[in-house]
Amino acid sequence: MIYVVIAFLWVAICLYIITGGADFGAGIVEMFSRKSYRDKTKSIMLKSIAPIWEANHMWLIIAIVILFVGFPTIYTTVSTYLHIPLALMLVGIIARGTAFTFRNYDAVHDDWQKLYAHIFYYSSLLTPFFLGIIAAATISGSIDTGAKDFLGLYIFSWLNWFGVCVGLFTIALCAYLASIFSLHQARFIDSLSIMIRKTRQTAFYVVITGVLVFVSAYYSDIPLLRWIFSKALGIIAITLATISLLFTNDAIKNHKFLLARVLAGFQIIMILVAATYQHNPDIIIFANGSSLSLFDEAAAPKTIAALGWALLLGSIFILPFLLYLLFSFENQDTDKLLDNKNP
Rounded CA-CA distance 338/43 in Å is 10
Rounded CA-CA distance 319/312 in Å is 11
User: What's residue 330's pLDDT?
Assistant: 60
User: What's residue 111's pLDDT?
Assistant: 77
User: What's residue 52's pLDDT?
Assistant: 67
User: What's residue 190's pLDDT?
Assistant: 62
- In three-state form (DSSP H/G/I as H, E/B as E, the rest C), the secondary structure along the chain is CHHHHHHHHHHHHHHHHHHHHHHHHHHHHHHCCCHHHHHHHHHHHHHHHCCCCCCCHHHHHHHHHHHHHHCHHHHHHHHHHCHHHHHHHHHHHHHHHHHHHHHHHCCCCCCHHHHHHHHHHHHHHHHHHHHHHHHHHHHCCCECCCCCCHHHHHHCCCCCHHHHHHHHHHHHHHHHHHHHHHHHHHHHHCCHHHHHHHHHHHHHHHHHHHHHHHHHHHHCCCCHHHHHHCCHHHHHHHHHHHHHHHHHHHHHHCCCHHHHHHHHHHHHHHHHHHHHCCCCCEEEEECCCCEEECCCCCCCHHHHHHHHHHHHHHHHHHHHHHHHHHHHHHCCCHHHHHHHHCC
Q: Is-above-0.85 flag for pTM? A: yes
User: What's residue 338's pLDDT?
Assistant: 43
Burial of residue 240 (CB within 10 Å: 0-12, 13-18, 19+) is middle
User: What's residue 343's pLDDT?
Assistant: 42
Condensed to tens digits (0 to 9), the pLDDT of residues 268-301 reads: 999 998 888 888 888 899 988 888 999 989 999 9
User: What's residue 337's pLDDT?
Assistant: 41
User: What's residue 246's pLDDT?
Assistant: 86
Residues of the chain with pLDDT under 70: 50-54, 107, 186-190, 325-343
User: What's residue 41's pLDDT?
Assistant: 75
